[in-house]
Structure 1
Amino acid sequence: MKMTSIKMKKMLEERLQHPDWNISYNRDKDTFRVEWKESGKGITITLPNVVSKYENRGERSLDDLVNHVQEALRIMNETHELTGKEQHIFPVIRATSFPTETKSGKQLVYSDHTAETRIYYAIDLGKSYQLIDQDMLEKEGWKKSRLKEISSFNVRSLPVDLKKDRVADNDFYFMASQDGYDASRILNESLLEEMKANSKGDLAVAVPHQDVLIFADVQNPMGYDILAQMTMKFFAEGRIPITSLAFMYEDKGLEPVFILAKNKPTE
């Protein structure tokens, strides 16, 4: 029997029952939403994408989806006491070739991320920001773990507005708000889990420079070639380039994709 959006909606309703969550269905958009009753924060699922994945991968795809939704909602509901300048602290993504100390010799605070990227931390000053060094941390009496926790919360609080583009039956999503933290949104685990839950194929992520984040729902081999060309182009044009490599998002981890773009874009 063919799977439909209505059948999928019923299956998800059964799997996502929780006393603190509201579930709703938008018939016009064919979307399914789960949100926290108290805060209204939640995740919206595009049902035709889920149906397509279910038809290709079966029950396991539904298990994966439910896990991603539950994890995204759990992360969304974490709260911290933020006072003073704590709410202005954000993580910034840089290439591993980026200096680890200032020109005056002060050690910058950073964390490992991937083989291609590192996470630094910054105080937002409005029109600019200052990278946090070890001396500042010690002066405040803070531990690095506190810095990581606060900055992670703050990056999840940033608005997300993705522009979608479909090319050769692959879906690409672009974040370019120009607020200085577009690439930093790759650290928003809730966003990654939501994108993974909604993807029809493999989910890839790219941060070619500071002011762009790209998601690719790769549904055929051509998608990898297009993503490679796209990432290289953004990398070459970026004011603060990060990496020309994209990453596959699987099991809450990012693995670099080594793609040779064999198919040149058609004019």
Structure 2
Amino acid sequence: MDLIQAIILAIIEGLTEYLPVSSTAHMIFASSYYGIQDDDFVKLFQISIQLGAILAVVVLYWRKFFDFSRFNFYIKLACAVVPALILGKLFDDMIDQALGDPIPIAIVLIVGGVILLFIENFFKNPVVFKEEDITIKKAVTIGFWQCLAMMPGTSRSAASIIGGMQQKLTREVAAEFSFFLAVPTMLAATAYSIILKDYGPDDAPVKGYELLMENTDKLKLLLIGNVIAFVVAIIAIKGFIGLIKKYGFKPWGWYRIIAGTLLLAYFLTYN
């Protein structure tokens, strides 16, 4: 993977991580289209540039994250992330296998789009209008909804927002809580991919940090990718909140359906 390819993936990550359109699916499709080699470093890169997107949320909502007098906020996030930590570890190998087949990912993209078209018809009359009113029970339930995104193409953002609306949060509060929940979730995924996950052949595995230290160019690409993902994610988050307030989730549903259909046709034709 060269610098231009790394920049493309980082822009895609920043744009799509907090939108209900599946950043993983978009990076997989972009990698295939631009001929980016599907090696261990690329897999590590796609996960680790989430760190830049994480920092975007922390910067935009810094008052929330650094208000240590509101201890209950941290408790809710800690409880909500537990399902993803457990299930993510249990199904790590299955997730890796699913990432290698773009056709079912395109199908999931389409199905998720159809769901977004009608989601607001199912979850009406919200009663939670601010984050402070989200109970720990509701937070954990949203955390389980987030686990649906372990199937590539689902979208972590979409799953957790839908989970929030199912728990009677307004769509704006559900979206913001999805942003908050992304911080510990993606921080854990990034740390796992760099520190704990094994790469390479089974008889000679290496950790992510060892893979990065093999070549300083890899470390440079990762740093550049995180900076770009950070800047683009800030723009995407601000724009998304404004759009869902005005239009709801239907535009994202149509986008998923159109994108998924085009990508499905592409991979059925050229693979």
The higher radius of gyration belongs to 1
- Structure with the larger strand share: 1
Both structures adopt the same fold (TM-score exceeding 0.5): no
Q: TM-score, normalised by structure 1?
A: 0.25
Q: TM-score, normalised by structure 2?
A: 0.25
Asked which structure has the greater RCO (Cα within 8 Å, sep 6+), the reply is 2
- Structure with the larger helix share: 2
